[in-house]
């Protein structure tokens, strides 16, 4: 599946100049070209200069995670992460889908330590359309504000105005800015492109959603 993704990246880049109609601004057309992947997924090649492709999530054991001391007996008192995570719904890469876990009621995080207050939940989607051939990005406030306060993002990461953060792009995100302040760190990884790029448009190749394992009706 990820091999298909690699091909699509190249196709994006090669056709960028031919498909001006699909790329609303030259900005994303040229920048998309930088996301050509150099090698195959399984070969562990780098994407850009700082990230490795990882087509599936690997849950390390305590003894091999490089954090715990396997020689210390105390390790036996800890639950293995794979066991702790085994009952959660997974996303395409096998990472825990925390949004689904929350929706299904599998987890019920508290708004504060004592569980006295409520989250201020906001149901407002923001559509980012400067994505070239990639499906547009739908940013759902609701999935975020169920467990993040407005002040986690506004105003330090995002000015609270649609379109006001004009230089958002994958370069910044991969470098840990904007969405990348959390995604790939404490929130789902950037490799599940389709979770952000979830709104296909006219310029999106039909096969994109198939590559991503998403059904044509988007479900
Ligand atoms: C995870 C980050 C995040 C959190 C948390 C968050 N927002 Fe936002 N918000 C955004 C982003 C991203 C945009 C779009 C900015 C852009 O278009 O450049 C936005 C835009 C907005 C806008 C502008 C809408 C418009 O049409 O101009 C308002 C108003 C807003 N947010 C209110 C809130 C409120 C109120 C909360 C808390 C209940 C909240 N946001 C929590 C990320 C967040
Ligand atoms: C955490 C959310 C998120 C994920 C995951 C994500 N993107 Fe993006 N992507 C964005 C946002 C936001 C933009 C900016 C769109 C805009 O400014 O209108 C963007 C823009 C882009 C663009 C347009 C050029 C640019 O650099 O801005 C391309 C191409 C792109 N993404 C490819 C990908 C690919 C390929 C993946 C998966 C490997 C991916 N993205 C994963 C959020 C995401
Ligand atoms: C302050 C941290 C933070 C920032 C900044 C942030 N996110 Fe998130 N995002 C989260 C968390 C936490 C979740 C829920 C947990 C998870 O899915 O890993 C989430 C969930 C989502 C979801 C829901 C996915 C689903 O399957 O329903 C989307 C889409 C998303 N983020 C896109 C974005 C985009 C696009 C941006 C940038 C414009 C962004 N996020 C910025 C923390 C953040």
**150-200 confidence digits (pLDDT tens):** 999 999 999 999 999 989 999 999 999 999 999 988 999 888 888 999 999
Is the CB of residue 31 below 6 angstroms from any atom belonging to ligand 2? yes
pLDDT digits (tens, 9 = 90+) for 93-113: 888 999 999 999 999 999 999
Nearest ligand 1 atom, CA 148: 5
Place of tokens 């196709």: 11
Q: What is the pTM of this model?
A: 0.83
Is the CB of residue 129 below 6 angstroms from any atom belonging to ligand 2? yes
Dist CA 24 CA 9 (whole Å)? 18
Dist CA 118 CA 147 (whole Å)? 10
Is the CB of residue 204 below 6 angstroms from any atom belonging to ligand 2? no
Mean of pLDDT values over 116-139: 95
């Amino acid at each position: 599946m990820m091999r298909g993704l690699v091909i699509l990246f190249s196709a994006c880049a090669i056709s960028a100049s031919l498909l001006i109609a699909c790329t609303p601004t030259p900005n994303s057309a040229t920048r998309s070209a930088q996301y050509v992947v150099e090698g195959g997924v399984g070969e562990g090649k780098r994407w850009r200069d700082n990230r490795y492709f990882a087509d599936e999530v690997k849950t390390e054991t305590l003894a091999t995670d490089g954090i715990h001391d396997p020689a210390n007996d105390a390790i036996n008192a800890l639950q293995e992460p794979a066991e702790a995570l085994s009952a959660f719904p997974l996303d395409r890469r096998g990472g825990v889908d925390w949004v689904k876990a929350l929706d299904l009621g599998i987890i019920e995080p508290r708004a504060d330590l004592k569980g006295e207050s409520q989250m201020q939940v906001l149901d407002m989607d923001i559509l980012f359309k400067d994505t070239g051939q990639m499906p547009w990005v739908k940013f759902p406030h609701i999935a975020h504000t169920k467990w993040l306060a407005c002040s986690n993002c506004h105003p330090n990461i995002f000015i609270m105005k649609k379109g006001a953060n004009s230089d958002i792009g994958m370069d910044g995100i991969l470098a840990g800015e904007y969405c990348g302040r959390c995604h790939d760190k404490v929130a789902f990884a950037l490799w599940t492109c389709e979770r952000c790029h979830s709104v296909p448009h006219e310029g999106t190749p039909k096969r994109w959603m198939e590559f991503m394992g998403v059904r044509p009706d988007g479900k």
